[in-house]
Structure 1
Amino acid sequence: MTASDTSAAAPAVLRRRPILVTGGAGFIGSNLVDRFASEGHDVLIYDALARSGVDRNLEWLKKRHPDKVSAVIGDVRDEASVTDVVRDAQAVFHMAAQVAVTTSLVNPREDFEINVRGTLNVLDALRQRGERVPLIFASTNKVYGDLADVELEKTNDAYKPRDPRVRNSGIGEGRPLDFHTPYGCSKGAADQYVLDYARSFGIPTCVMRMSCIYGQRQMGTEDQGWVAHFLIRALQGEPITIYGDGCQVRDVLDISDAVSAYASAWRRIDAAQGRAFNLGGGPSNAISLRQLLTHIEEVIGRPVETIYDDWRAGDQRYYVSDTSLATRELGLKQPVNWLKGVAALARWLQEEHGRSPSGSSPSRLHKAEAL
């Protein structure tokens, strides 16, 4: 679908040199759109609406910013359509992707087409414009592989690196790339294309290698968005399946902090161009799945049923971002504490679903949010 196939609002926005957000109805994309529109920017969303629930995000954005937000329903695999929406953009935030490792194992060709060919379509549309239009790309910590060489020990329901340097700082950008699973390969290849288009063609691009982002407007599933998924299942009184032993650790980052990092990368693009940054909550927000479940039980005021299953392909037992480079170069502030952020997400999910879960206590939720 091209821009001409959408409502009359899209061409009007295009003439105002909008910020283009591919995947703009998704979790991170919708929060980016909301931030930029709230700041007074015209924003064009380009999204295939393939993920369940994202149509609600799009409806919310249009109601919230009727004069600032427009949308083109389209697929990044459609080269002509991508060229249309990129033509007048003042900046591009490329969030559109196939996002699940499990899906990539079922259909690796589609995973490649969306993540590699789709990204190349966006990049080449910018190259053909012949202007220095910034592009900020959503990459992943999966570009570093399974990190099997990082020696670990179990303490307090969580894996910890034996090396104190890694334990205290996390995984840095100097870590060698090591693509595992089709998803890791496709996102890793796209990551490298984005960086090379800065080297080869002078396009001001920047890569954000994200750890686990959570927060409002996240439609978490078992395959992707595990913090929201755990909360949704717990609030609905349904069991949660843990793949592995539950001691695997990730650094979690509230969506407000992730959006600020993306916005800063754009505003500091002269310094950020051609560079990759690890983006996560860092060591201070590193938690295991079991630790999250314990906190969720405190938030909702009752136990959560858990089921354990085998490890999944490519799962890292430990990944925590060394955020020092991003903090320094992008001017990032101290991130939201995960205890407070997760409790706030639980409250939002309750309001979004329009019901109070059986056995939960509103006062308990409020108390947890104040942590």
Structure 2
Amino acid sequence: MNILVTGGTGFIGRWVVGRLLKDGQKVWVIDNLANSSLDNLKEYSGNEHLQMVKIMDLKDRESLIELFRETTFDLCYHLAASINVQDSIDDPETTFNNDTIATFYLLEECRKQHVKIVFMSTCMVYARASDEHGIHEQSPIKPASPYAGAKIAAENMVLSYFFAYGLPVVVVRPFNTYGPYQKTGGEGGVVAIFIHNKLKGEPLNIYGDGTQSRDLLFVEDCADFVVEAGYSDQLNGEIVNAGTGKDISINQLAELISAGKAPIHHIPHIHPQSEIQKLLCNYQKAEKILSWTPKVTIEEGIKRTENWIQSTFHRKDRSKS
């Protein structure tokens, strides 16, 4: 198939691209590089199936129209987005433009060619887990940040194109994804930041009391889920979750990563009003329809992520010498 991946140089995007190339698909990548790097795709630079990597912003509507004029796509994975909760609180307009307006522009091009679109949403649209069985696709949503609000708005636009035009669409809501290639700074995830700080001999800073919990999904499991959601016709017009079905408190996570080798500090929360106390995924729908289940345990995932972050330190040291 001819497949377009927006945000394909990003953390999850580069793993989705890798899986598609492994499957022998022809892949086009567009990204504005606002939160990523072309280096993330260096591993695939010689791959005969990688057709194009183009630096482009989805809000540049003329360039988007031109791209769809040049190529007939079969499938589009839409992963490009502003993803930082605090940034969305500080500057909601940028997040809305990148996550909602840009999605509308892409939907219009997909509609003209009847290109299936897989829209990457987020578990941050949900209210807290209501019972021990976890959050399922019909669980209550709560736009506790402009990021969540922009994603919910975009989800509704995507689903409206299924109902109004018969455009095949899927909304995917992965839970907290971590692993190699995730940023280790302020825009990264908690696992990457904690590991980075431990390796640097710096404290692991926990916002609030650390009792908040997360369902942590390894990035390769997430990429497999996203790709499979695009391949299946059974999920058209549907929302589907992916997670592990197990949550861990941030305090427990810090202890697991620190292993007694780094101090753990509690600091005031930067956005307590947008915190979701408990995120626990019920992924039965993905398991039933896609036969998808997560394969990587939290212990194995942390080990692989730590090995990768350590390797980036070595690469930086070599580049300085």
Q: In structure 2, what is the equivalent of residue 58 of structure 1? A: 41
What's the offset of the Cα at 1:223?
Answer: 4.0
1:124 and 2:85 correspond:
no
**2:58–2:105: 8 Å Cα contact kept in structure 1?**
yes
1:307–1:329: structure 2 CA closer, same or farther, 3 Å change rule? same
1:48–1:267: structure 2 CA closer, same or farther, 3 Å change rule? same
**1:239–1:307: 8 Å Cα contact kept in structure 2?**
no
SS in 1 for 2:121: strand
Distance 1:341 1:67 in 2: 28
Q: In structure 1, what is the equivalent of residue 243 of structure 2? A: 280
Distance 2:277 2:222 in 1: 23
Letter in 1 for 2:238: R
What's the offset of the Cα at 1:230?
Answer: 1.4
SS in 1 for 2:5: strand
Q: Deviations over 1:246-285 (max 9, x none)?
A: 11101011111111111211121x21000001111212xx
Q: Deviations over 1:8-61 (max 9, x none)?
A: xxxxxxxxx63111000000000011111122222111000111x523203333
Structure 2 counterparts to residues 211-222 of structure 1, below 5 A? 211-222=175-186
What's the offset of the Cα at 1:306?
Answer: 2.5
SS in 2 for 1:319: coil
Distance 2:235 2:312 in 1: 36
What's the offset of the Cα at 1:355?
Answer: 6.8
Q: Which of 215, 219, 225 does residue 251 from structure 1 map onto?
A: 215
**1:61–1:69: 8 Å Cα contact kept in structure 2?**
no
Distance 1:329 1:318 in 2: 26
1:173 and 2:137 correspond:
yes
Q: In structure 2, what is the equivalent of residue 208 of structure 1? A: 172
What's the offset of the Cα at 1:139?
Answer: 0.3
Aligned residues: 314
Distance 1:77 1:307 in 2: 39
Distance 1:339 1:281 in 2: 13
Q: Which of 315, 322, 328 does residue 288 from structure 2 map onto?
A: 328
* Unmatched runs of 5 consecutive residues or more in structure 2: none
Letter in 2 for 1:273: N
Distance 2:305 2:139 in 1: 32
Q: In structure 1, what is the equivalent of residue 97 of structure 2? A: 113
Q: Deviations over 1:48-90 (max 9, x none)?
A: 0111x52320333325x26525211000111122223344222
- What is the alpha-carbon root mean square deviation over aligned residues? 2.0
Q: In structure 1, what is the equivalent of residue 267 of structure 2? A: 308
Q: Deviations over 1:276-302 (max 9, x none)?
A: 01111212xx1111111111123xx61
Distance 2:51 2:189 in 1: 25
Q: Deviations over 1:298-328 (max 9, x none)?
A: 3xx6133434223523110101111111111
SS in 2 for 1:276: strand
Letter in 2 for 1:79: R
1:54–1:195: structure 2 CA closer, same or farther, 3 Å change rule? same
What's the offset of the Cα at 1:176?
Answer: 2.6
1:339 and 2:321 correspond:
no
Q: In structure 2, what is the equivalent of residue 48 of structure 1? A: 32
Distance 1:98 1:112 in 2: 9
What's the offset of the Cα at 1:340?
Answer: 1.0
Per the normalisation by structure 1, the TM-score is 0.80
Q: In structure 1, what is the equivalent of residue 154 of structure 2? A: 190
Letter in 1 for 2:289: E
Q: Which of 16, 25, 34 does residue 32 from structure 1 map onto?
A: 16
SS in 1 for 2:45: helix
Larger Rg: 1 or 2? 1
1:278–1:49: structure 2 CA closer, same or farther, 3 Å change rule? same
1:256–1:44: structure 2 CA closer, same or farther, 3 Å change rule? same
**1:194–1:205: 8 Å Cα contact kept in structure 2?**
yes
Distance 2:117 2:148 in 1: 21
Moved more, 314-323 or 79-88: 79-88
Distance 1:232 1:18 in 2: 37
Distance 1:218 1:296 in 2: 16
1:178–1:92: structure 2 CA closer, same or farther, 3 Å change rule? same
1:139 and 2:121 correspond:
yes
1:72–1:334: structure 2 CA closer, same or farther, 3 Å change rule? closer
